Amino acid sequence: MLDKAGKILGAWADRVGVPATGRPTASLAAGLISLSIHALVLVSLAFAGHHVQEVVQSEFSSEVAEAPPRALEPLATDSTLQDLDQKDDEPVMEASGSFAPILAATNTAAPPSAGPSPATVDDALAAMDFGRRDVQRVVDAVAPTASTLGKTFAIEGNGAEHVQGVEGAVDRVAVEIVRRLERGRTLVVWAFDASRSLEAERKRLSKHIETIYAHIGQIDENRLSTDGGLLTMVVAFGEFRKAMTPKPTADVAAVRDAIASIPADESGVEATFSTVAEIVNKYGKFKGPGGDPYNLMVIVVTDEVGDDQDRLESTIDAAKKRDAPIYVLGSQALFGRAERLMDYYDPKTKFLHKNLKVDAGPESAMIEQIRLPFWYGGPQYDELESGFGPYALSRLASATGGVYFVARLDGAKMGFDASRMKEYRPDWGTRREYEADVARSPLRQAVVNAALVTQQNLPGMPTLQFPSMDAPEFKDVLQNNQVIAERTTYTIDEALPPITAAAKRRDRETSRRWQAHYDLIRGRLLAMKVRCVEYNWACALLVKDPPRFQDPKSNAWRLVPDAEIRFSEKAALAAKEAEALLRKVVADHPETPWALLAERELKNPLGFRWVEAYVPPPRPRDDDPANPRRKMKKAEEMKPPEPPKL
């Protein structure tokens, strides 16, 4: 074999003129042949791997299901920290009235009427016969069925891409249109949300539309867009739909004027999916004047999810049947929130409306994060951007072969790096598939349950400052704020047991997103549980063993955060576990919403200690009706005009 190889190489050497002294030996010939064979194998594998990667990235399968959400399996209710509130030698405090909090409207049973005043804090808690929360009613009330946009970075292979505002989307939209043109003549239908909240963005985009089509001409090397190869329609939608161009046109100026002339819709209703379905059914088989068929692509421009999300799967089905990709240019969803608050200046009334609610999320099929106010001064992070689009619109784009352009329309920068957020992408399968995955996992069930139970307006942080004990208002201030802490404790006690029961399954969870969800939720619930217990213990201790002012000027008592947990050993252990979980979230998921929320919770210790303070007496009230400040206050209290429907 080696001799034969040597002869072959010798013949090759004679052909190319290699001297005999420089010719390879038989062993060297075998080595060269082996090296050549291995090189060929490696090159083949490289091409095969590249092909496999392309196939995996472009693969997408979905199930068309219009069924309503099914109830999840009953959640485990194993106890956790149930005896954290129990202490053998609690300080006795006088209590009047009921400590039962005012529960959300989704409660199935009301608390009983106030009975005799309990003698201890725990007796007061035991007297609360709270009704169990009907989780399915909570699901129906707060779980939306859809989700949103940021910074220049392509998230490949998952149907979402971050761009920098309207201007940043110009190049990408042009590229997608040219790609469609490579498959044949193309009809692009722009579907614009006509709501007032998007009025300024429509005007901005009308100015950039000519830039998009100019860029198409620059990158369209084969001139596929000329001679009627590219036609455009403009459709406005709100509660109803209106074609702003009488027919498909190649006149870019007419397209620009059509966008600029879209009238504001006053209904406050966005029939997004119905509009897309109608466009697909009407223009999915469009033929030009000469009978030439056109490929259809739809570009939706909106800042809300849409009020007809029940049409999601049927719209996807229609688009796939017509091979019509759907692209969306919109805002990013809030992290674990369904509604965004926005300010709107009404040009008609000249009034700036603050904190109007807009349906902009969440980014997942159901809410997957708890809603728990932070204590102490600092950001509350009620509106934290997720880095993704809303679920329904993201799924619409992904399932049809389009892209959701995550482009913040207000021009602000998003808070998280898109490359890092890629591995935390929500599940954009069907809602039925999502629910089935949750039902199969006790950990995911516990996360969703905790998120749903906490979607209510909790009272926030109780006061940390109390008047002197001999002040007439001391008793009311103390008891009213203990009710606030106890209200939060009650909600935590509803959400925490299933979370704790799923702890043994934590290491079996493979999704980075669900791992981050679980660790953050468990850490925050434990931390807030300890805080509430420590707060009530400190209040009771103040009554049982009141300290004395050391400074004669002091006239108030103030609670300050402290690292020592005084209530019980179990509470101290729970505090250590909570802090360890939160630090793990920060370490394992840096530069993500989970890490930011964990850092915020870790900002202050979980315990409390009393310090004395001086509070200046209130300034005397000026009742002079001629006082200009009173006039100004009265003007501010005048009823504002009715806010528009966005």
User: Is the per-residue pLDDT at 293 higher than 50?
Assistant: yes
Of 67-76, 155-164, 239-248, the least confident: 67-76
User: Is the per-residue pLDDT at 560 higher than 90?
Assistant: yes
pLDDT on residue 314: 97
The token pair at 519 is 């660790």
Residue percentage of the chain with pLDDT more than 70:
66
Average pLDDT value over all residues in the chain: 76
Confidence at 458, pLDDT banded by 50, 70, 90: confident
Rounded Cα distance between 270 and 261, Å, is: 18
**Mean pLDDT of the 72-94 span:** 37
Q: Which residues pair with 120 in a beta bridge?
A: 92
**Mean pLDDT of the 89-108 span:** 28
Confidence at 518, pLDDT banded by 50, 70, 90: very high
Q: Are strands 230-237 and 326-330 parallel, antiparallel or unpaired?
A: unpaired
Confidence at 580, pLDDT banded by 50, 70, 90: very high
pLDDT on residue 230: 97
Q: Where are the domains of the chain?
A: 2-58, 67-148+375-385+414-615, 155-331
pLDDT on residue 6: 42
Q: Under CATH, domain 155-331 is a member of which superfamily?
A: von Willebrand factor, type A domain (3.40.50.410)
Categorise residue 330: left if φ over 0, alpha if ψ from -120 to 50, beta otherwise. beta
User: Is the per-residue pLDDT at 12 higher than 50?
Assistant: no
Of 11-15, 213-217, 274-278, 390-394, the least confident: 11-15
pLDDT on residue 162: 64
Rounded Cα distance between 125 and 536, Å, is: 11
Higher per-residue confidence, 462 vs 144: 462
pLDDT on residue 527: 98
User: Is the per-residue pLDDT at 316 higher than 60?
Assistant: yes
Confidence at 378, pLDDT banded by 50, 70, 90: confident
Of 302-306, 460-464, 578-582, the least confident: 302-306
**Mean pLDDT of the 427-432 span:** 94
User: Is the per-residue pLDDT at 203 higher than 70?
Assistant: yes
CB of 225 closer than 8 Å to CB of 185: no
Categorise residue 404: left if φ over 0, alpha if ψ from -120 to 50, beta otherwise. beta
**Mean pLDDT of the 385-392 span:** 89
- Please return the burial class of 488, using the count of CB atoms within 10 Å of its CB with bins 0-12, 13-18 and 19+: buried
The token pair at 364 is 């997942």
Of 98-102, 157-161, 509-513, the least confident: 98-102
pLDDT (tens digit, 9 = 90+) per residue, 403-418?
A: 998 876 544 545 687 7
Rounded Cα distance between 342 and 412, Å, is: 14
pLDDT on residue 448: 97
Confidence at 623, pLDDT banded by 50, 70, 90: low
pLDDT on residue 267: 83
**CA gyration radius, the chain:** 32
**Mean pLDDT of the 444-452 span:** 97
Which segments of 360-406 are extended strands (E)? 404-406
User: Is the per-residue pLDDT at 94 higher than 70?
Assistant: no
Rounded Cα distance between 374 and 597, Å, is: 9
Distances, alpha carbon 531 to alpha carbons 130, 177, 291, 576, in Å: 21, 55, 72, 12
Tell me if the bond preceding 362 is cis, omega within 30° of 0.
yes
Could you tell me how many helices (H) and strands (E) the chain has, helices first? 18, 13
Of 299-308, 539-548, 633-642, the least confident: 633-642
User: Is the per-residue pLDDT at 45 higher than 50?
Assistant: no
pLDDT (tens digit, 9 = 90+) per residue, 153-201?
A: 333 334 566 665 556 677 789 999 999 999 999 999 999 999 887 887 7
Which residues touch 37 (CB under 8 Å, ≥6 apart)?
Answer: none
**Mean pLDDT of the 114-134 span:** 32
Confidence at 367, pLDDT banded by 50, 70, 90: very high
